[in-house]
Structure 1
Amino acid sequence: MNLIITMGIRKLWRVTCSVAPRALGAFLVLWMIATLTFFALRQMPGDPALAIFGGIGNPTTESLAMITQELGLDKPLIVQYAVYLGKLLHGDLGVSYSQHLPVTKVLADQSGATLQLMVCAILLAWSLVLTWTVLTAGRRSWISTLGSFVETMAAALPQFWLAIILVSVFAFGMHLFPPTGSNGIRTLILPSLALAIPLAGFIGQVTRESLEVVLEEPFVLSARARGLSDLAVRYRHALRHSVLPGISLSAWAIGSLVSGAVVAELIFSREGLGRQLFQAVQKQDMPLTVGITLVVSVGYIAANFLSDVVYRLVDPRISRGAP
């Protein structure tokens, strides 16, 4: 029993030592993102204090001076930066200049819609990959070539162009789906497809290459020799060995989906972090911009970090540095 516990502790220590540098790297990335966002917004033209009075009329000079002092905008830039980092370290994201609400409340209200859109897009993308790629990979040369061509074309489609085409054809033309809104499953279909189709093209290309290699492995040939149908061989045996590259790519795709969510939420007039980020940058709303940027960055880093941890637990050779 003691030997088993000792081996377990050693394995956990190796994993911890291999993961610790990546955790430090994730922290440094968040710090760099927060720093770049701060200085980029400070370099934008205009007075951030005016965002407090947006749509309320023409503020007086005294009112602007008072708000500038309250926000600390009259202090040297390096002092503002130090105060800004101190608040972030204490979890204080501040109050939105334009909405006059705590940033945490805005994030809580808007994150659900964006998360729903991203999850739906990923599920649709994988559904397309598992249907199209698995059925066409490793077939006759013209079928495989056609499948690869479709994936390449899908991956090359600009999300904004695809979103406009989908809303023009299926919403305004055929009246099958509502063109705007965030309520109900029907409002999710078109924006999810606009994000899922290009993503499916990328994942499909990687999965196809891996699947075609796996289909030539001895265990697959053995499964065929036992009389299993072609679909059973592909889905029950070959697929689970060929989707790992696609799963890894899905972690990267979170960043792509967030940028695509900005486009989708604007075109389809949906609620969500993407639309809020666009409006916050326009209005120089630094607390809200920083809050959304950090939340998105944390999600992206966490997805890649967890993916790396899972790979190291599944294949200990990576932790040991084995070839």
Structure 2
Amino acid sequence: MGHPPAGGFPHDALLYDSTDQLVATAAPFLRAGLDAGEAAVVAASPEGATALREALDGDPRLLVLDRGEAYQQRTPAAITAFRRLAQQQTAGGAPRVRVVGELDYGRTEREWLEWERYESVINEALRGWDMWGVCAFDTRHSPEPVLASAIRTHPHVVTPAGRTPNRGYTDPAEYLRALPVPAEPLERTPPRFAAADVADFIGLRHAVAAELAAVPASADVVEDFLLAVDEMTSNAVRHGRPPVSLRLWTAPDRMVCTISDGGPGWDDPFAGYGPAHGEDLSHGGMGLWLARQLCDHVDIAGGEHHPGDGGVSVRLTTVLR
């Protein structure tokens, strides 16, 4: 693991069952990077970060980040944070950034799924960003679906014995298209508000805002959700086929809105994990990207890869914490 592979975004899985095993694999990886003049970053559990810092004898060049700061709350923000990290470190003269990261996958299967998506998406989203990522998974505490996903989403596996190709790795586009769209029980109940054929954007926004005014959440959370609804409704009208419909549900623990149209759907499984036109935001293409940052979950159903009863639906969910 001493010399970084050329091209692409090296993205390795490190499965460990003790802190000693984590250190035995990750510390030489970080040390080799520092010896080569590369940046070395750790964004792991507090226990793992402390052990790795000690293994490198407190080397001041090692950058230890709080993993909540590194990964952010939502997956597109995590991608942006790591791109920014690469820009900062390479601008300072480092030829590449080595990162040992360890996600907190959350407590529910719904939360796990978002980060399982992320682990596959970053194979493309961080390609060419002068980074080499090693993702650590504690097999003692990680849920079984998370460990299974780790094998599907990392091209290589690393151990104290070295780095080997991962036969279980699945092409990201194939993997993402095969992921399930989780069921939402609220969708089987009468909506709090519904519009069958959207035509009046201003009136619709006022109507949705009036319904959300009674939700026990901060004004910022409600406004973010309302903006995501606006963006997805606008997308459906501009890029889909009529009729465009909207259904809204609220519960004590979440807000849910589904926007549907008669269009063929998205064929891009990476849609919404970055601006559609890269860094040039003047070209637009920001709707789904913004929605993924503004909501906890964005699920797309219908279209070629998620066939249903015709058309495509985007479901937005924000958890009320």
TM-score (normalised: structure 2) = 0.22
Looking at both structures, which has the greater relative contact order when contacts are Cα pairs under 8 Å and sequence separation is at least 6? 1
Please identify which structure carries the higher strand content. 2
Please identify which structure carries the higher helix content. 1
TM-score (normalised: structure 1) = 0.22
Bigger Rg, which one: 1
